Amino acid sequence: MKRNILVVAAVLATLGIMIWAGVSNYRRQQREQANLKRLQAMIEATEPAGTTANDDEALEENPLQGKMAPEFTLTDTKGQKVSLADYKGKAVVVDFWATWCAPCKIEIPWLEQFKNQYGGQGLAVLGISEDDLDLDNKSELAKEKQQIANTAEQLKINYPVLYDDANVSTPYGGVDGLPTTFFIDRSGKVVASTVGLAPREQIEADIKKALGNGGGAS
């Protein structure tokens, strides 16, 4: 009888711990979402809507402007090889981001929405994670990649998320801030780029610019 009571008590204690952990995790997620919404509101309040740089300014800021986007092949969170060449004939948004980047988590839902809105017109989006990867330690590398994959799943990212284990950001001029986003037209040329969180209107305008350049959809 005593043993049964102890077993029941242990089961109840375990259930209590699981419930507490679930509630604690839910509350943490709610706090994170609330913080992101506050940050987004602050940014939208201070950023002039629709602000875009003219072509001369963009050329000075981005040496890739008007040039062919550097090719790359990386592995996505599902273990598949993904190359920029796979999207020949499409307009492509290449977004450098990281799991710890708060502005990135504001931009990502916009990119998800634009992927849904303009995907039928030939838009593709690729997210390249700039999280640190320990390439010399297979065990740590697996954990780091899993963390990125878990975050991508939590954010419900609807486009490929790639691990930058080949330092792809270097041929793109390096990443001075996150997110850093490149807009590539159907011919493979960079037509716009942004560093940091740009206004939603500017991102959409740059997407339309990429979709409108470089010939017809494939």
What the block records as the tokens of 37 is: 């919404």
Look at 49 and 130; give whichever has higher pLDDT.
Answer: 130
Residue 30 shares a structural domain with residue 97: no
Antiparallel, parallel or unpaired: β 161-163 and 73-76: antiparallel
Together in a domain, 174 and 82: yes
CB 178 within 8 A of CB 193: no
Ramachandran category for residue 63: left, alpha or beta (phi over 0 → left; psi -120 to 50 → alpha): alpha
Exactly one of 58, 64, 92, 104 is catalytic; name it.
104
217 part of a folded domain: no
Give the angle subtended at the CA of 179 by the CAs of 174 and 180, to the nearest 5°: 40
Report the amino acid identity of residue 175.
V
pLDDT exceeding 90 applies to what percent of the chain?
67
pLDDT at 55: 42
pTM score: 0.73
Work out the average pLDDT over 152-179. Answer: 95
Strand-pair category, 123-129 with 91-97: parallel
pLDDT score for 205 = 98
Angle, helices 200-212 vs 102-118, to 10°: value is 40
Secondary structure of the chain in the HEC alphabet? CHHHHHHHHHHHHHHHHHHHHHHHHHHHHHHHHHHHHHHHHHHHHHCCCCCCCCHHHHHHHCCCECCECCCCEEEECCCCEEEHHHHCCCEEEEEEECCCCHHHHHHHHHHHHHHHHHHHHCEEEEEEECCCCCCCCHHHHHHHHHHHHHHHHHCCCCCCEEECCCCCCCCCCCCCCCCEEEEECCCCEEEEEEECCCCHHHHHHHHHHHHHCCCCCC
Model pLDDT, residue 92:
98
Mean pLDDT of the chain: 83
- Residue-wise pLDDT tens digits, 6-58: 555 555 566 556 555 454 444 555 555 555 555 555 444 434 443 344 444 43
216 carries an active-site annotation:
no
pLDDT at 23: 44
* Residue 101 is among the residues annotated as catalytic for this protein: yes
Tokens representing residue 82 in the block: 């993904």
Q: Domain residues for 197?
A: 55-212
Q: What pLDDT does 176 receive? A: 87
Q: Is the pLDDT of residue 132 over 90?
A: yes
Is residue 182 domain-resident? yes
Residue 138 lies in a domain: yes
Residues 28 and 83 both lie in one domain: no
| pLDDT category of residue 168 using cuts at 50, 70 and 90 | very high
Q: How many structural domains comprise the chain? A: 2
pLDDT computed for residue 213 by the predictor: 78
* pLDDT, position 127: 98
**59 pLDDT above the threshold of 60:** no
For residue 88, being part of any structural domain is answered with yes
Please say if the pLDDT value at position 188 is more than 80: yes
Check whether residue 9 and residue 95 sit in a common domain: no
Give pLDDT, residue 5: 63
Nearest Cα residue to 183 out of 103, 109, 118, 106:
118
Mean pLDDT computed over 51-80: 76
In-domain check, residue 218: no
> Which tens digits make up the pLDDT trace of 87-105?
999 999 999 999 999 999 9
Task: Name the token pair of 95.
Answer: 């977004």
Residue 4 predicted with pLDDT over 70:
no
* Confidence check: pLDDT of 143 > 50: yes
Residue 78: give its domain's CATH number.
3.40.30.10
151 with 60, same domain? yes
Q: Which of 84, 101, 108, 157 is catalytic?
A: 101
